[in-house]
Amino acid sequence: DVKVTQSSRYLVKRTGEKVFLECVQDMDHENMFWYRQDPGLGLRLIYFSYDVKMKEKGDIPEGYSVSREKKERFSLILESASTNQTSMYLCASRVTSEAFFGQGTRLTVV
């Protein structure tokens, strides 16, 4: 079975903290994505990566960075967490038009 695993289901962090969200896939996919999901706004693309050490900005990259040191792992970094980054974060990987998603990380910044 295909698997995309996000390291945490729920996280609570303080404003100003550096936050790491980890995502691992076991399908040897080249393409990986980070989205945030907010009510009424659907899934918005933050960053994606099409190869190791390659990254491209999505629609809302401000306040975020990413790291792809190994093919199976794609990390999302909040350099200095703010309350407006409270959201559900979804990681995905794909090789064709079908993307596989993790279960999501609900991040609350207080």
Tell me which residues touch other proteins (CB under 8 A): 4, 31, 33, 35, 40-45, 48, 50, 56, 58-59, 90, 92, 94, 97-104
Cβ 47 to other proteins shortest distance, Å: 11
Q: How far apart are CA 2 and CA 65, in angstroms?
A: 26
Distances (CA, A) of 102 to 16, 78, 80, 83: 26, 19, 24, 23
For other proteins, give the closer residue by CB, 14 or 40: 40
Q: How far apart are CA 103 and CA 110, in angstroms?
A: 23
Q: How far apart are CA 52 and CA 55, in angstroms?
A: 8
Cβ 81 to other proteins shortest distance, Å: 22
Q: Give φ, ψ of 95 to 5 degrees.
A: -125, -30
Cβ 7 to other proteins shortest distance, Å: 14
For other proteins, give the closer residue by CB, 31 or 67: 31
Cβ 20 to other proteins shortest distance, Å: 19
For other proteins, give the closer residue by CB, 66 or 102: 102
